[in-house]
A and B are shown apart, each in its own frame.
Chain A
Amino acid sequence: MKSSAAPKQSLSSSIRQEKIQQWVVGIILAIGGLIVAIPFIWMILSAFKPESEVMQLTPTLFPEQWTIENFHNLFVNMNFGLYLKNTIIVVLWSFVGLFLNAMAGYAFAKFEFKGRNQLFFMVLATMMIPGQVTMIPVYLILNQMQLTNTMAGIVLPGLVGAFGIFLFRQFMITIPDELLEAARLDGASEFRVFWQIVLPMTKPILAVQGILTFIAGWNSFLWPLIIANDENLYTLSVGLQLLKGQYGGNFALQMAGSTFMVVPIVIIFIIFQKHIIDGYTISGMK
């Protein structure tokens, strides 16, 4: 790295300087990271405090008295059990959407057919349409289909997405044609080729998309809010919004609701973070 003519002394001092720089950067990042993490830490700690402790004017950092009463209240006084069930249904449907994205991406990557380029362009063009423009007409269309206040109405508008189709196509285009031809010659049906050869080869992108799909489904807010008229179809985020309105002053309960929503996602993220973060490199987001 350094020219060999440099005296030994300056080499060791430059190594020391480098070390100091590494420490300074590490400390800056640690302070920044702590600031970023404060809302999470405060949320979790407050969720385990009794309501009276949260209402004190001088807040405590750690709960003086740990309690799970707030979480108990979520399920007894509020319908968080029902919201959880609905959220899980939404998540399962979004995986169906992921599968449809993969199917479309496969066809765009590996088949020659009439109108392919035009259709693919149309798919990409939908990425540019802002949600605010489609929000009202989609509601009106669902209303015409008599799907307001149904699970289908909540799930359908976001089921497939152009970005997912695009990522699958980009990845599947690298699968060698010979492989697919060989399977076809062996008598595999087109669907079996897709299911048993293409999908397993798509694992890296499937992992990223699967995790992101789970997170998006778990967090889904706008369509459940617009479509669900009664509590039976509320997801966790809509339920939490309701809780904020009904128990505006009870911050301990609100923090418990938020913790219940955020912590599962954080755990899943920490387990799979390598896939997600590396996924951006795979997706060619350079």
Chain B
Amino acid sequence: MKSFLANKTPYFFIAPAIILLSLFSILPIFVALIISFTDLDLVGIADWSSISFVGFENYKEVVSDPIFVKSIFNTLFYVVIGVPLVIVLSLAIALLINFGKARIFKAFRVVFYMPSITNVVAVAVVWSYLYNPQLGLFNHVLNLLNLPDVPWLQDPTMAKISLILLALWRAIGLNMIIFLAALQGIPKTYYEAAQLDGANNWKQLTRITIPLLRYAIFFVSITTMIGWLQFFEEPFVMTNGGPLDSTTSVALFIYRNGFQFSNFGYAAAGSFILFIAIIIITMIQFKIQNKQQDY
């Protein structure tokens, strides 16, 4: 009896988590795959017999949808500009904070981390006000400096950059903490040895710190890249994709087709294309990383 119970105990402990994960993470993948080959919409939800199998029709349609193509280019814009900025800035701030010896430097961690815990809607509401063309703080400050107004959210290219600025502000904190943890893991003796050899700060940074942070930099670039490929909340709350779909990301395109137009099959096809893109880009990064290590 006792061994029977002992055998069952672990299953009792994992059951709730496994059931929930299966239902809301594993099963949905298969459901998404199946419905991406159907024309499921609102009618189809109520009456399953009206759903018909359409083969690759959704995939063909979505890759020729001009808004989807535009959303891909927008997402690439976010990734290409945003990811390097996140890595460079959060690493720079982490290095500066780590360099400081006074107690006040610990307070800076809190300040820079703060944006990443705040609610995205609240933050987007605040930044919309800051970006406002007439009443916003940013244009007012520019005018004080005798500079012209910037069409923060009105110009198609500027709107993308404005969203990147907001996302950058939110992303620095967490990555800075990861870099700080990694920096504290570097043995002090390396630096002492380098100083004995007369290496200056810059040499210590480029020859010791950066190479030893390689794994942390890789981790941050992978997670940041995946995050930015799924860029959603900022354009959703701030611009809703406008002006003229110039800020629509792939994730926003999927959300809109799924929940606003109820084209579930079509949206699922779009989401699978995004999923495959994420897998391919992640694999490429792993390949590059491995090559560098060989070298």
**A residues apposed to B, CB below 8 Å:** 1-3, 21-22, 25-26, 28-30, 32-33, 36-40, 42-43, 46, 54-55, 57-59, 100-101, 103-104, 106-108, 111, 113, 116, 119, 122-123, 126, 129-141, 143, 156-157, 159-160, 162, 165, 190, 194, 215, 218-219, 221-222, 226, 236-238, 240-241, 243-244, 251, 254-255, 257-258, 261-262, 265-266, 269-270, 273, 276-277, 280-281, 285-286
Contacts and interface: CB of A to CB of B under 8 A. Distances in A.
9 contacts: A3-B196, A28-B96, A36-B169, A39-B130, A55-B135, A129-B25, A135-B258, A162-B25, A276-B113
A107 B8 CA distance: 11
A285 B128 CA distance: 34
Given A42-B129, A265-B117, 13 more contacts: A40-B126, A54-B135, A107-B14, A129-B28, A132-B254, A135-B254, A136-B268, A137-B27, A160-B17, A162-B21, A255-B129, A277-B110, A285-B219
B210 interface: no
A131 B230 contact: yes
Interface stretch (B57-65, B78-86, B271-279): B271-279
B93 A134 contact: no
Contacts of A101: 17
A261 B259 CA distance: 26
A67 B264 CA distance: 47
A21 B201 CA distance: 11
A30 B195 CA distance: 28
Contact of B119 (A139, A219, A281): A219
A78 B35 CA distance: 39
A277 to B, nearest CB: 6
A254 B135 contact: no
Nearest to B100: A25
The 7 A-B pairs with the shortest beta carbon distances in the complex, nearest first, are A137-B28, A137-B31, A107-B13, A111-B10, A104-B17, A258-B122, A134-B28
Interface in B130-164: 130, 132, 134-135, 137, 140
B125 A111 contact: no
Contacts, number: 268
B14 A119 contact: yes
Q: Which secondary structure dominates where chain A touches chain B?
A: helix
Nearest to A58: B140
Contact of A32 (B93, B119, B267, B268): B93
A286 B215 CA distance: 8
Given A103-B17, A104-B16, A134 B9 contact: no
A134 B29 contact: yes
A113 B10 contact: yes
Query: Would you call the interface of chain B mostly helix, strand, loop, or mixed?
Result: helix
Contacts of B278: 130
Interface in B1-44: 5-7, 9-14, 16-18, 20-21, 23-29, 31-32, 35
Interface in B89-134: 93, 96-97, 99-102, 104-105, 108-115, 117-123, 125-130, 132, 134
Nearest to A101: B17
A160 B258 contact: no
A286 B274 contact: no
Given A40-B114, A133-B275, A241-B121, A29 B100 contact: yes
Interface in B183-198: 184-185, 192, 195-196
Contacts of B128: 244
Interface string B273-292: 01100100000000000000
Given A46-B129, A59-B135, A286-B185, A262 B118 contact: yes
